[in-house]
């Protein structure tokens, strides 16, 4: 762990949610490269949306909340080798797959162990759905974001609930639900439907929420 990352880490907080089952599930899933891959096609629109929103990441501090194996982070570091990226995940087994050039930290989304206003950019791609206490997790992401910093959440639309097999703790979201939570601490919170591919019309399954602090 480098010095700048140590400075960002705050004191640990006692978890108020039993996370053992969720952690065990993702620890086991770390061995499933087919369904939980280490890489992602850089052409998918999820990647492009993040890059377009954040801009040049060199010399900026970036937090990937619920990073898994760091598949998005690999692309960002390749494009911007002087970016300071932290892959944050509940599962230490997942984090073992993250390249050494990317900083890693394990914990829960509801108690991010970082100083307030520590990051220039924060994003969560299909990870907020596992946070259980969604309002707390969103508040934490906003807390660690610098004034003027940008936040992106990509997740599934509650109106499509039931189309995929999900664990019992998982939640999907209404557009207005997360917009309201983001507006408590950020400004310009908006959302839109997105597809995996830029030239494919969105089918309503995925939403992107964008906010600036």
* Domain coordinates in residue numbering, the chain: 37-212
Condensed to tens digits (0 to 9), the pLDDT of residues 123-142 reads 999 999 999 999 999 999 99
Nearest to 206 by CA among 175, 180, 182: 175
Give me the architecture of the 37-212 domain, per CATH: 3-Layer(aba) Sandwich (3.40)
pTM more than 0.85: yes
For the sheet containing 61-65, what is the strand order?
Answer: 103-106, 84-89, 61-65, 119-125, 145-156, 206-212, 187-194
Q: Which residues pair with 62 in a beta bridge?
A: 85, 121
How far apart (Å, rounded) are the C-alpha atoms in residues 102 and 163? 34
How far apart (Å, rounded) are the C-alpha atoms in residues 143 and 126? 20
Condensed to tens digits (0 to 9), the pLDDT of residues 62-99 reads 999 999 999 999 999 999 999 999 999 999 999 999 99
**What is the mean pLDDT of the segment spanning 26-33?**
94
Res. 202: pLDDT tops 50: yes
What phi and psi values does residue 23 have, to the nearest 5 degrees?
-60, -45
Scanning the structure block, which residue is given the tokens 């990870």? Answer: 127
C-alpha torsion 87→6→59→106, nearest 10:
0
Nearest to 69 by CA among 102, 47, 41: 102
């Amino acid at each position: 762990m480098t010095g700048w990352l140590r400075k960002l880490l705050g004191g640990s907080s006692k978890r108020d949610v039993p996370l053992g089952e969720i952690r065990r599930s993702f620890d086991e899933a770390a061995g499933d490269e087919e369904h939980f891959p280490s890489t992602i096609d850089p052409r998918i629109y999820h990647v492009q949306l993040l890059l377009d929103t954040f801009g040049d990441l060199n010399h900026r501090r970036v937090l990937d909340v619920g990073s898994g194996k760091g598949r998005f982070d690999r692309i960002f570091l390749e494009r911007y080798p002087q970016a300071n990226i932290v892959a944050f995940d509940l599962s230490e087994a997942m984090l073992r797959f993250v390249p050494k050039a990317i900083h890693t930290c394990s914990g829960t989304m509801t108690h991010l162990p970082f100083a307030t206003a520590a990051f220039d950019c924060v994003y969560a791609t299909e990870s907020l759905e596992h946070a259980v206490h969604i309002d707390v997790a969103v508040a934490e992401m906003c807390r660690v974001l610098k004034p003027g910093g940008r936040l992106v959440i990509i997740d599934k639309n509650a109106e499509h609930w039931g189309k995929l097999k999900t664990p019992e703790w998982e939640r999907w979201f209404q557009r207005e639900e997360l917009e309201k939570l983001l507006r408590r601490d950020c400004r310009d919170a908006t959302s839109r439907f997105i597809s995996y591919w830029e030239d494919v019309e969105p089918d309503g399954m995925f939403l992107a929420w964008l906010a600036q602090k």
